[in-house]
Amino acid sequence: MVCGGLRGDELARMAGAAPDPRTVPFRGHYHELVPERRHLVRGLVYPVPDPRYPFLGVHLTRHVHGEVMAGPNAVLATAREGYRGRDLVPRELAETLAWPGFWRLARRHWTMGAREVLVSSSRAVFARQARRLVPEISAADLRPAESGVRAQALGRDGGLLDDFRVDTHGRVVCVRNAPSPAATSALAIAEFLADRHVPVR
Ligand SMILES: Cc1cc2nc3c(=O)[nH]c(=O)nc-3n(C[C@H](O)[C@H](O)[C@H](O)COP(=O)(O)OP(=O)(O)OC[C@H]3O[C@@H](n4cnc5c(N)ncnc54)[C@H](O)[C@@H]3O)c2cc1C
C-alpha cells in the first residue's frame, strides 16, 4: 500500500504505476488573528466552495485552544516539501514545469494563480480575503503563521483532481489523491482501502 502524500506519484511510479496524475505541491499560507481580536470568530467560518477549483480559499478556523487561523491560500511550491517561500529544489520544480498538465492548468487559471501570489505577498490583500467572511478583520489584526503544502494530483490534461483516487498496480495499492478531509476521515479511509483494495493473494 503506497500512501505517500507529496511523494505519492514518485512512489507509485516506482511501483510501476502510470505517471498520470502528477503530484504537484501547492503551498498555503496562514495568518493568525492577534489574541485581542480572537473574539471575532467563535467557530468555523467557511466560504461557499467554487466548484471550478478544489481549493476552498481563505477561511477562518478557531482551534481548540482558542487560536484563530485565517487561510490557506494556494501558490505553486518550488519544492515538494516547500513550506517556506525560499525552499527550492530545482529538480522538483523542473519536473513540475515539464508536466504538460501544469501548462494546461496555468493557461486556464492564470488569473487565479496571480491573485493567489498577491494574497501571499501582501497582508492587506490577505486581510481583504478574510474580510469577505468577517467584515471587522483588518490587516493589523493578522500576524503571519505557519504554512502547509497540499499534495494536489494534476492530470496530464490540466485537470485538478478534486476527489479520491486509488490505483491498483499488480499487488500494490497506490493512493494517488487524498484531498481534505482525508485527515479527519483517515480511519474510515483506511477501512475502505483495507476492505476493497487490498488484493487477495
Ligand atoms: C494546509 C492544509 C490544511 C488541511 N486541512 C485539513 C483539514 O482541516 N481536515 C482534513 O481532513 N484534511 C486537511 N488537509 C488535508 C490532509 O492533510 C490530507 O488530505 C491528508 O494528510 C492526506 O493523507 P495522506 O496519507 O495521503 O498523505 P500525508 O498525510 O501527506 O502522508 C504521507 C506520508 O508519507 C510519508 N512519505 C513520503 N514519502 C515517503 C517515503 N519515500 N518513504 C516513507 N514515507 C514517505 C510522508 O512523510 C508522510 O508522513 C489539509 C491539508 C493542507 C495542506
CA of 39 to the centre of ligand 1 (A): 30
Are 133 and 62 in the same domain?
A: yes
Are 80 and 100 in the same domain?
A: yes
**According to the model, what pLDDT value does residue 32 have?**
97
Are 174 and 141 in the same domain?
A: no
Residue 59 and residue 69 in contact, taking contact as beta carbons nearer than 8 Å: no
**According to the model, what pLDDT value does residue 171 have?**
84
pTM of the model: 0.92
Best mutation site among 3, 26, 69, 162 for ligand 1, i.e. most ligand atoms within 8 A of its Cβ? Answer: 3
Are 29 and 47 in the same domain?
A: yes
CATH of the domain at 70: 3.30.9
Final residue belonging to a domain, choices 136, 155, 174:
155
Q: Which domain holds residue 9?
A: 1-21+161-201
Stretch (H or E) spanning 61: strand 59-62
Are 14 and 41 in the same domain?
A: no
Are 122 and 110 in the same domain?
A: yes
Q: How many CB atoms lie within 10 A of CB 7?
A: 15
Q: Classify residue 115 by burial, with Cβ atoms within 10 Å: 0-12, 13-18, 19+.
A: middle
Between 69 and 168, name the one with better pLDDT.
Answer: 69
Instruction: Verify whether ligand 1 is closer than 6 Å to residue 178 (CB atom).
Output: yes
Provide, rounded to the nearest whole percent, the portion of the chain with pLDDT above 90. 77
Are 30 and 14 in the same domain?
A: no
The mean pLDDT of 37-62, rounded to a whole number, is: 91
**Does residue 201 carry a pLDDT above 60?**
no
Instruction: Verify whether ligand 1 is closer than 6 Å to residue 5 (CB atom).
Output: yes
Are 145 and 50 in the same domain?
A: yes
The pLDDT tens digits of the residues spanning 54-70 come to: 788 899 999 999 999 99
Best mutation site among 1, 2, 7 for ligand 1, i.e. most ligand atoms within 8 A of its Cβ? Answer: 7
Could you give the number of structural domains in the chain? Answer: 2
Are 127 and 184 in the same domain?
A: no
Are 179 and 125 in the same domain?
A: no
